[in-house]
Structure 1
Amino acid sequence: MKRGKTLIALLVGIAALVAFTVAYAATKMPEQDLVIDTKDVFKEKKKAPVTFSHTKHKALKCTDCHHEYKDGKNVWQEGQEVKKCGACHKLEAEGKVVKLEKAFHDQCVNCHKQFKKDKKPTGPTACAKCHPPKPGEKPEKE
């Protein structure tokens, strides 16, 4: 009888810890949209900056996007500092690190295409749906 109560108390404690951890992590994720404007890498951009919504991506794990690779393994963990993508990805590829434009497109567009292929709700895959026209520029045809 005592062993059963101890087990129940332990399970309730673990459940509470998990709930608090998830709640804490949810408060750490930015709720406002982020404008991805990589002027530190691209001196002259072909396309306008992209607005990214963390809220629309909350079903994903943080490590689906955030990463830091060591020996081919993503060692970044939730709660660690999030570096700007341009801190590692530059205008051109450097060794195994792909160039910034490819990194964004591989990460974002390929994920959206995979969700579309799997018939899951997803975001845009066309350029103009992420990159609005620059001021004075005509919208792209799709």
Structure 2
Amino acid sequence: MGKKIYFLLGTILCIALFTSVGILKATDVSDEICIKSDAFKAYKKGAVKLSHKKHTVDYKIACADCHHVYKDGKNVFKEGDPVQKCSECHDPIQSKGKVKKLMLAYHKNCQGCHKGLEKAGKATGPTKKCNDCHQKKK
């Protein structure tokens, strides 16, 4: 009987350890995110850099406010889910049905949030000038 309890406890401990490592790995994100794509090389504006930590920790923005996986018209993304590159679903060249092309998806997501906060009279990031977000190309 004692061996069974130790085996059960050991199994539970291993499962807990692997689960926590998986969650930590999934949430291990660089603070500075640079939004860029080879598809944008022809555009005049440069990449956009943002602070992931500032958005998630300081502003308390939920993961699913930026990241999404739609099933049956609902965003089912949860914290800890693997994050795909936006270009895996959003084509850089053209919109396909309800899925916006990559540049439009970025702009709708970021500008939509910032403009919504501005409209509500809350503090927000840039909303007016392209260069407030986009770096100058070198």
TM-score per shorter chain, which class?
0.7 to 0.9
Q: Secondary structure at the match of 2:67?
A: coil
Amino acid in the other structure paired with 1:46: K
Amino acid in the other structure paired with 1:56: K
1:102 to partner: Cα distance? 1.0
Amino acid in the other structure paired with 2:132: K
What is the CA–CA distance in structure 1 between the aligned matches of 2:111 and 2:89, rounded to whole Å? 20
Amino acid in the other structure paired with 1:37: K
Structure with greater helix percent: 2
CA RMSD of aligned residues (A): 2.0
**CA contact 2:86–2:102 (8 Å) conserved in 1:** yes
Q: How does 1:61-140 map to 2 (within 5 A)?
A: 61-90=62-91, 91-125=93-127, 126-135=129-138
Q: Which runs of 5+ in 2 are unaligned?
A: 1-19
Partner deviation per Cα, 1:79-126 (whole Å, 9 max, x = no partner): 111011111111210111011111111100111011111111110012
**CA contact 2:33–2:51 (8 Å) conserved in 1:** yes
Match of 1:6 in 2: none
Which gives a bigger RCO, structure 1 or 2 (Cα 8 Å, sep 6+)?
Answer: 2
> Residue 120 and residue 31 in structure 1: after superposition, are their counterparts in 2 closer, same or farther (change >3 A)?
farther
What is the CA–CA distance in structure 2 between the aligned matches of 1:120 and 1:95, rounded to whole Å? 33
TM-score (norm 1): 0.70
> Residue 130 and residue 78 in structure 1: after superposition, are their counterparts in 2 closer, same or farther (change >3 A)?
same
Match of 1:60 in 2: 61
Q: Which runs of 5+ in 1 are unaligned?
A: 1-20, 136-142
**CA contact 2:44–2:137 (8 Å) conserved in 1:** no
Match of 2:34 in 1: 35
Amino acid in the other structure paired with 1:131: H
Amino acid in the other structure paired with 1:33: E
What is the CA–CA distance in structure 2 between the aligned matches of 1:53 and 1:79, rounded to whole Å? 19
**CA contact 1:29–1:54 (8 Å) conserved in 2:** no
Q: Give aligned pairs, total.
A: 111
Percent identity, aligned pairs only, is 45
Q: Secondary structure at the match of 1:131?
A: coil
